[in-house]
Structure formats: structure tokens, C-alpha cells
Chain A
Amino acid sequence: MSIVNKPGAISTWYLPGILSGLWLTLKYMIRNLFDKKKMPTLNYPEEVYQYGPRFKGNHILTVKKDGSIRCTACMLCATNCPAQCISIVAAESADQRVEKYPIKYEIDILRCVFCGYCEEACPVDAVRMGPEWQTAGLNGSSFSYDIQHLAYRPQLKGGILSRVDDEERHKFGI
């Protein structure tokens, strides 16, 4: 059973509310002025907050051992994406064991809601959400990430290896 406390007559006056709000602000201002260490805010961009390792930030396309892209262009991420920010164009690979691969894989990061469904939908650990979150850019096109950026941007140092390996899968007869 929930008890509803009806507002008393005093709270219908707006003045006490304003005053208590101003008091709070003043309290923290004074506290921050005298004890900088306890200040909860950061001076971004001079200071950068360190998120946990499981933070889901910007997308990464993983690569295979030979450095080629792991994605098979199955489009499950694009299908699953609630923001419809992934667009893929598939093509036939010259390597028969690969068969299908993306010639275009673009994520419109401005539309992305970082829900992580793409990562979850991927059957081959090809798309992951990495720790980066700084997505600043100067114009519209810099928010549309292509394969080059998603798989081989300098921060990734040559690419992230996928956990799913074709050779191994063949060995197990999958």
C-alpha cells in the first residue's frame, strides 16, 4: 500500500522552495571554492573521465588473422538496429571460403542510440562497441563512419581480432 502525502499548505507557497534551492547552490559553491578535491565535475577537455572497460561506445569492426574484415555482410545488425543507422552493401568475394563481404559498411553515428543491439545480433563477433565515446567532428560527413574508420582507425592499432575464426570452425566441422 502506498501512502500519498498530500502537499501541505506551506508548500503551496513558492518562496520556501526557491530559497532552499538557492541555498543548495550556494552551499556547493562555497564548498567547491574551499575544497577543490571534492568537486564532482571535471574540467573537460583538459581532464577526461575514465569509463569502465565494459563501456559501450563507438563501434569497432573486428578483423581476421590476415587483417581482412571479419564482417560477412549478413545485415543482421542493420536489420536489428532500432535507429536504422547502419547501411551495408554486400559483394561476392573472390575468395570462395569467404563468399560474401561488405564493400560498404557505414554507421551514421549521429543517429546511433548506442543500444548495443548490433553487437548482440552479430553472429560472428564482427561488430563490437568499444570504449571510445568522443565523437566530435567538424562537419556532417565526419559522423558517418566507414569501414576504414570502423576497422582500421589509428586508435585500434591495426585492428581488433575477432574471436570467431573460420579455420577453427572448419576444424570442428561447423
Chain B
Amino acid sequence: MPKVKLNGKEIEVKPGTMLIDAFKQAGEDIAHYCYHPGLPTAGVCRLCMVEIEGNPRMQIACNTVVTEGMSARNNSDKVKEAVRWGLNFHLINHPLDCPICDQAGECGLQDQYMKFGKYTPEMSEQKVKKRKVVSLGERVVLDSERCILCSRCVRFTSEITKTNELGIFNRGDHAEIGTFEDKPLNNNYSMNTVDICPVGALTSKDFRFRQRVWYLKDASSICTGCSTGCKIRVYYNEEGLFRIKPEHNPEVNGYWMCDKGRDIYKHVNPEARLQEARWGQVGNWQVKDIAEALREAGEAIRASVRDSHHSKVALVLTGQQTLEELTAAVKFFLSDLNSRDIYHWINNPEEMEKFDGLLFRGDRNPNTKGLLSLLASEKVSATWAQLEGKLNSHEIETLMVVGPEDPGVFPDLAAKLKLFAKAKRLVWLSSARVAAVDQVTTATWQIPLKSFFEKDGTLVNAQGRKQTLRKIATLIPAAVSVDQAVAVMSGREKAVPMGKFELNWKKTNFFVGERGSL
């Protein structure tokens, strides 16, 4: 472990650490744009200048490996001057776009100017004009005038996705990023280029102009878009959820996440949600108090068991809920009802094992591994064919289905609902509002569930890693988690703790300057 002295602070770092990382580790501010720990070094922004003892020339910290006894500083006047001028050079051709730029508030140029810049601009000549509002496919918008040519996005597409869409064309101060002939940047990881863009050159079409970033609060969570389980950061305010960005987790996703995962906030927002408990069937739905609905549903299930000497109930589970919820549901059937009719609904069997080699998996349930191991440990071996047989022969009286959080990844949803409708009564628990459920012809209770945003729990990803989900806020007051629901259904509890709409942070300035590094 080499010991280094940075700005007089002595710290110990891992061998092979880059000096810039050592500075960050020491808690010292160091300006930079082009350096990104997840990408190969480019060394082109020339901002992370440091003075290394024994070297008369200033060096860039992002291309210097620490050595034992190295002593470096970046708080000398010489370095400060270099950084100030480095920023000056970055800004002379940068447009004064901040009022309409989505990046404003979390912009590298703004943050670092406030930290290291603060000079009087002296450029009085015309700026170089470049192209603005160039659409690059479905998700990304390019403004090459704002670009500072740090080449992060180019390195991302050439080294991480290896799709090579983006390049820097022309040379000198006319250099521009772009794709060949504005071809769309439609790979499944394109939005990472927006994340790593330190300025507003690449912006997200989905998020564009919807909120100013300082109005957004953020919290850490786990992506439920597929079984990889990337660590994410959710951005929200009183108007709902607005975007999702990846957070660094070296064990799972590194610095990245896929574009599909970024859409999961859409089915958390109230407009996509089942807002209250309902009872009825097609054409005749009644809104019910959640506790009452649960009590009724529970009685119906228990009645089906009581009335018959062999089980007339069945439970259908998906890999979309947390381990705790699934366990509660399974325990309810095994111990309370003494039924082993528990089935795993596999939404896309032919794609379950697919993997794109980077992050995205064909199994689009966050907790399939957890569900499988739970069923295996409880020695539940019922197959889907058995359920189909029982339903077709109308053997099942009450069917309880813990449905999907994201109906979009269940292509067989309508077909499966037709099958479920063969039961006499259906208890449908789901966080999503599914139009097909409203068409069900059998007596149905619709119980609103909580989304991943609103509950604590454990998810087991495809690697078998247990990851903890933390509750961030409540959006739907009536929604319950499966374990809360089961507690009432089994008769152990009389009521559920009613949630309160908690997404009531005022849209004030959360001063994102402190939100994090670039």
C-alpha cells in the first residue's frame, strides 16, 4: 500500500491507483471533465493539473499512477491559475444557454466554475457556432455547441457498448461530436452517454424540459426492470417521479444501466397505478375500503379451504415482489391454508436465460432467483401445467394472483387473465392498473400493491446477490405490501396501517450543487 502526500495530507491508497482517485479519496477537490473511472483515460480536458514534487512540469492527475512516497498538490497558486485558465478555455466557445439547458444545476461547467473559476471573461470575439437540437434517435438530443469535447460519450460507445456510433468529427475548435449522418443512437445503453456528459450537450428526450434538476430530490434504490438489479438513483418531487440514473455498484452494474431500466419510474407514478381496492367484475366495479376488501378476499379464500376436503385454492406468484412479500404469501398458503398449490408465473419463458453480455437480461423480473429458491426450500413442486389443468376443469374456487408491478414485461398478460377467470373468484393483487383485469368475467377483488419505491424488502438478482430495497415515499395511500395484505387475509390483523401520501416535498431548490460528482 503506497503512502502518498496530497496537499500535505498523508493517505494510503491501493497500488495502481490513479492520482486523481487518490485526491478524491483524500477528500480534496480536483477539477476534471474528461476523466471517468469507468472509461479509459483520455487526458484531454487538462483540468486535473497537479504539481508533483520533483517534477518541474505540471502533470495531469488522471494519467499518473501513484508511487510510494509521492507528494503532490493542487492547491498551489500555479495549479489554481492553470485550472482557472483551463476553465476559461472551456468556456470561451460555450454558449450562454444555461436558462434553457437541462443540465443547468448539475452541470460540470457551472459547478467547477463556482469552485475553481471565477474570473472576468476577456474573450470579445465571436464564438464558434455549431449545430443545436440534433435528434439522435429515440432517447438522446445533441447540442454540439455546448459540447466541450471531453470524449466521454465517444469512449463509452467505443469501449463499453462497442457499438461505435458516436465520433468526433472535424478538428480544432470546429470539432463536433455526432453520429455519422445523424444516424440514431439507439443502443440499449444510449442514455449513459447523457449521464456521463458533464455538460448539456447530450440530453435525455424523456426528461427534456420536464423539471429543473434543482427541483428534484433523489434517493438510492434497486432497478426492478430485469433480474440484473442495478443500483439506481430515483429523482422525484411532489409531482411524481421523473427520471432514473445508475449509481455506482462495482459488484453489479459498475457505473452503467440500460435504457429499458430507466423507464421503470413510469409505472410507479400514480397515473399508471391501481389507486384503490375494488370489487366486482366486468362492467360492474365497486370501490372498497382496502381493509374491507382484504378481509372479504381472505374470508373467501379460507372458505374455499374450509368447505372442501381437498384444496380449492391456488396461489400464483411472479418474480416481481420482494422476498419478504413472497415468503408471507407462501407461508399463508402452506401453514394457514395447508395448501401446496403455489405456482410460478413465468412471463417470457423463451427469453428467461438471455443476456446481452453487459447488463440487460431477458428475465425481466427482479426477484426470480428469490422466488425459485423460496419455492425450492419449501419443496413446492407444483407445475404450471397442473394449474392450467385444475383451472380448465374448474377445480379451483378461489385463485390468488400476485400480479406484475410492470405489466409491460408480461406479454402473456391478457391470455393468462382469461385463464385465471376460469376460477370462481379471483384475488388480484397488483400495483399496476391493468386494463385487462377490468374485463375479467369472474368475481374479482383488485388489491393495490406498493411499488418498489414505496416498500422495504430484499431482491435476489440473477447473480444470487441479495439486495436491499428501501422505502423512499408513499404515492398511493391505499396500497399495501403483500405481507400486510396477507396479515389481514389470514385474519391475524383487522386492518392495514393506512399509508399517507408522502410525496409532498415542495418544489423548492434542493441545491443540487452538493448532489455528487460528475
Do A and B have CB atoms closer than 8 angstroms in the complex? yes
The chain A residues found within 8 Å of chain B, CB to CB, are 72-76, 79, 84, 90-92, 96, 99-100, 123-124, 172-174
Q: B214 in the interface, Cβ–Cβ < 8 Å?
A: yes
| A76 to chain B: closest residue by CB | B99
CB–CB B209/A90 < 8 A = yes
CB–CB B96/A174 < 8 A = yes
CB–CB A96/B133 < 8 A = yes
Q: B208 in the interface, Cβ–Cβ < 8 Å?
A: yes
- Chain A residues with CB under 8 Å of B507's CB are 84
Report Cα–Cα, A173/B127, bound state, in Å.
5
Chain B residues within 8 Å of chain A by Cβ, number: 22
Known: A84-B508, A100-B100. 18 other contacts (CB 8 A): A72-B99, A72-B100, A73-B100, A73-B209, A74-B98, A74-B100, A74-B212, A76-B99, A79-B214, A79-B215, A84-B506, A90-B209, A96-B132, A96-B133, A99-B133, A123-B98, A173-B125, A173-B126
CB–CB A123/B99 < 8 A = yes
CB–CB B212/A75 < 8 A = yes
Known: A79-B212, A79-B509, A84-B506. A74 touches B132 (CB 8 A): no
List the 10 closest pairs (A to B, CB-CB), nearest first: A74-B99, A173-B126, A100-B100, A90-B209, A173-B127, A96-B133, A75-B212, A72-B100, A123-B99, A72-B99
Report Cα–Cα, A76/B104, bound state, in Å.
11
Across the interface, B209 reaches (CB within 8 A) one of A79, A100, A174, namely: A100
The chain B residues found within 8 Å of chain A, CB to CB, are 95-96, 98-100, 104, 125-127, 129, 132-133, 208-210, 212, 214-215, 506-509
| B205 to chain A: closest residue by CB | A92
- Chain B residues with CB under 8 Å of A92's CB are 208-209
Known: A79-B212, A92-B209. A174 touches B132 (CB 8 A): no
Report the minimal beta-carbon distance from A86 to chain B, rounded to whole angstroms.
11
Report Cα–Cα, A37/B213, bound state, in Å.
58
Report Cα–Cα, A124/B96, bound state, in Å.
11
Report Cα–Cα, A79/B508, bound state, in Å.
7
Report the minimal beta-carbon distance from B205 to chain A, rounded to whole angstroms.
9
Report Cα–Cα, A75/B102, bound state, in Å.
11
CB–CB A99/B212 < 8 A = no
Report the minimal beta-carbon distance from B305 to chain A, rounded to whole angstroms.
53
- Chain B residues with CB under 8 Å of A90's CB are 209-210
A-B pairs with beta carbons under 8 Å apart, 19 shown: A72-B100, A73-B100, A73-B209, A74-B98, A74-B104, A74-B212, A79-B212, A79-B215, A79-B508, A84-B506, A90-B210, A99-B100, A100-B100, A100-B209, A123-B98, A172-B126, A173-B125, A173-B127, A174-B96
Report Cα–Cα, A91/B98, bound state, in Å.
16
| A91 to chain B: closest residue by CB | B209
- Chain B residues with CB under 8 Å of A72's CB are 99-100
Report the minimal beta-carbon distance from B240 to chain A, rounded to whole angstroms.
13
Report Cα–Cα, A96/B215, bound state, in Å.
25
Report the minimal beta-carbon distance from A103 to chain B, rounded to whole angstroms.
10
Report the minimal beta-carbon distance from B474 to chain A, rounded to whole angstroms.
23
